[in-house]
Chains A and B, each alone.
Chain A
Amino acid sequence: MTDIEPDDTVDARGAACPGPLMDLIGAMRGAEPGAVVRLLSDNEQSLTDVPEWAEEAGNELLAVEELDDHAAFYVEKA
């Protein structure tokens, strides 16, 4: 378990691809620089989509927690 405290959490569990990534992007759009957004997704594609987008956008993927039935991604806005 990570001890990162997110500023916002987006629960995209159950959403089909590319819903989780788009939900994360939507939350990052309104976030302040330095804010951490946690994305919850049970879509396997998110395991590649989210790191690729974070790198492309210059944001930092601080941690990925792989839990029983979903993953939690912590992304810090640049």
Chain B
Amino acid sequence: MTERIVILGGGTGGTVLANDLADRLGPELDAGDVEVTLINDGPDHVYKPVWLYVPFGEREPADGRRALDDLIDDAVDLRIGRVSEIDTDAQELRFDGTAPAAEYDHLVLATGSTLRPERIPGLAEGGHNYYSESGATALRDELLEFTEGEIVLSVVGTPHMCPAAPLEFVFMVDDWFRERGLREDVGITYTYPIQRVHGNPHIAEWARPIMEERDIAVETFFNAESVDPEAETITSMEGTELGYDLLVSIPPHGGVDLIEAAGLGDDGWVDVDKHTLEAEAAENVYALGDTADTGVPNAGSVAHYQAGVVGRRLASEVRGRPPTATYDGKTLCFIETGMDAASFVEFDYERPPSPAPPSEKLHWSKLAYNESYWLTARGLL
């Protein structure tokens, strides 16, 4: 009997896993013993880190988009459609309309993050972001015209995609205005919800002095409660009000509603064993990347490593062997510290990060990685 593996979501985690399985289970796929199906709600794969560079006019959103059809191994059945229900008892995914349900023996949820700006009154109208294609291009249009005034970068909630990106943006925007001789006319304020500038204390300790050195004002314990687009102010639950001329926010994030409706976890994140990535509330279900509530950053490198673990576990299960591969929390991250310098961190569940001294070489390494990302998506790197 054919074993059916269904992957929901064609972002980094889902795409890397699909190609990993096509390679790892090649003989079984050829023999018809296994089927691998990747379901995505659109035809394209999107590499979101490109959006950080769009507001500065350095990249175009199209640089981060490729057709899934071109990235996915032919041995994988690619299905484009929007799933409306996950039924873990019947082991099937249902679609709106007349499309037949997708039945599975093994399900992997890689549905990623969605932005929820509506949770903060006024934020969608008053704030810009670089966490979506449309947000990044709208911010670019504002930023390229901006020559004086106050920029506020507000991290409204955690978890959010790429925990380093808010730091990167303020470091880049500071450097960008310095290079153009406009920095004295531009104020930059960074806000963060807890008492330090980043969730990870080691990265926070590293970043705070850089912010002081570069005259980036900091407001900690700032949990945005509302934005007044008319008055151009953002107010926190803690009672602080900041005026802005350009508000850049990291909007609240959630997973997808399907997850919560299926009873797999709150707010769209799947409760998993953080080592095996198996869902706690259902059998034969894995989650990876942003979707898996492991406490590690929502980052592409995490999804990449987790896809390798899930691929090895699924191959063992298909072959009737006990799965032994586990995820150790490994995360790699380049952190831009300006327009031509970057740092780098590597950490896991046991070892904390220790940011490398910023250098031009690391900046070029980050850009080189972004270019070679398409090899990662294809499962070659």
Contact = CB atoms under 8 A, between A and B. Distances in A.
Interface of A: 15-19, 21-22, 25-26, 28-29, 49, 52-53, 56-58
B194 A22 contact: yes
Nearest to B194: A18
B158 interface: yes
B355 interface: no
B157 A53 contact: no
Given A18-B199, A49-B194, A49-B195, A58 B157 contact: no
A68 B193 CA distance: 29
Nearest to A26: B157
A22 B250 CA distance: 15
Given A53-B195, A53-B221, A18 B237 contact: no
B239 A58 contact: yes
B237 A28 contact: yes
A37 to B, nearest CB: 13
Interface residues of B, number: 14
Name A's interface SS. Answer: helix
Interface of B: 157-158, 193-195, 199, 201, 221, 223, 225, 237-239, 295
B194 A53 contact: yes
B239 A57 contact: yes
Contacts of B237: 25, 28-29, 57
B314 to A, nearest CB: 25
B39 to A, nearest CB: 30
Top 4 nearest A-B pairs by Cβ distance?
A16-B295, A56-B221, A57-B238, A18-B194
A58 B237 CA distance: 9
Contact of A29 (B195, B199, B201, B225): B225
A69 B238 CA distance: 30
A52 B238 CA distance: 11
Contacts of B225: 29
A61 B182 CA distance: 45
A58 B238 contact: yes
Contact of B223 (A15, A16, A29): A29
A22 B158 contact: yes
A15 B237 CA distance: 23
A64 B199 CA distance: 23
25 contacts: A15-B295, A17-B199, A17-B201, A18-B193, A18-B194, A19-B295, A21-B194, A25-B237, A26-B157, A29-B223, A29-B225, A29-B237, A49-B194, A49-B195, A52-B195, A52-B221, A53-B194, A53-B195, A53-B221, A56-B195, A56-B221, A57-B223, A57-B238, A57-B239, A58-B239
A29 B313 CA distance: 40
Nearest to A48: B195
A22 B267 CA distance: 13
Nearest to A30: B119
Contacts of A56: 195, 221, 238
A25 B195 contact: no
A56 B223 CA distance: 11
Contacts of A49: 194-195
Given A18-B199, A49-B195, A52-B195, A57 B295 contact: no
A53 B195 CA distance: 8
Contacts of B221: 52-53, 56-57
